[in-house]
Amino acid sequence: MIENPVLHYTHGPFAGMTVRARLEVLQSAEKGRKISSLIHAHASGRMDVRTIDPPPVVQITFFEVNERTLEETEIVDYDAYQLDDGRTIVQALLYKVEGGSSGNSDKKIIYTEPRSGTPIRESDECTALYLYGDKFVSALQLRRWKGRDILVCPFGNLAVREEGIFVLHFIAFAVGTSGMQFPQSNILARSWSDTFEVFPSKQPFALRPSTDLTNRLTRQQALSEIASNIRKRTVPRKKRSIDRVEDEDDDMFEDEDE
């Protein structure tokens, strides 16, 4: 399994370029509580969902590779290459680390958890069985995070239907783009989270305050939603409201630059 393949692109925004993508987990979940079963669903009919905390956040970075010297130059003009237009997507897969499938010693090992040395096998995947929430997230541009703009995929509503120790496997790919080396696959890069524990649904535990990264993403997405809703109104006099929201957006990020 190649974690970050170097691909020569034949079409799409990177057509004619040789590019490597890197996937980095900026924030891993630490713990969560098991989703209550359907039998214990709320009277409203909605499941009692407790998302893993803090929400995982993955950064994707692209580098243009010089085929002659193999030197890499980071691609930072996201608009020019349409990197945040919804086509760059990261998928989350769930694997059980502790108490996984029995009798799987002969199965292929795809990852070794670095802190415990526990091998993760293909048969340990339990995404369809246990992972709840949005498993596919499009990259968005996080503005002026620690002095620069970056592309991130925040997984804000993931929860798990089982207790135990788990790890997330993130896979980045692009829709409508492919490289010559892997004509049947659009996979750009892979990365793994730290392990996290899911506790019984009735076991209480204290949640720590939201991280700076979580707060920044929440505020940026909220402001973007406000601006988007205003744009949907066609009354010309609302244009000043749009400008005011965007100005507040810029002022907020300038004040919080590190």
Q: What CATH number is given for 6-205 in this structure?
A: 2.60.40.3960
Is there a contact between 154 and 137 (Cβ–Cβ < 8 Å)? yes
User: Given this model, what pLDDT does residue 41 score?
Assistant: 44
- Average pLDDT over every residue of 41-69: 82
Longest CA–CA separation in the chain, Å: 68
- The candidate with the shortest Cα–Cα distance to 47, out of 196, 168, 159, is 159
**Ranges assigned E (strand) in the chain:** 6-11, 18-27, 31-33, 57-65, 72-74, 88-96, 109-112, 119-121, 131-132, 136-138, 140-145, 148-154, 159-160, 164-174, 178-179, 187-192, 196-199
pLDDT on residue 83? 86
pLDDT > 90 in the chain, percent: 52
Q: What is the pTM of this model?
A: 0.81
Gap between the Cα atoms of 49 and 139, Å rounded: 24
Position 12 scores a pLDDT of 79
Mean pLDDT of 108-112: 92
Q: Tell the burial category of 87 from Cβ atoms under 10 Å away from its Cβ (0-12, 13-18, 19+).
A: middle
Question: For the purposes of burial, counting CB atoms within 10 Å of the CB of 184, is it exposed (0-12), middle (13-18) or buried (19 or more)?
Answer: exposed
Q: Is the pLDDT of residue 120 over 80?
A: yes
pLDDT, tens only, 132-148: 999 999 999 998 899 99
pLDDT tens digits, 135-191: 999 999 998 899 999 999 999 999 999 999 999 999 998 876 655 554 445 788 999
Domain boundaries, the chain: 6-205, 209-258
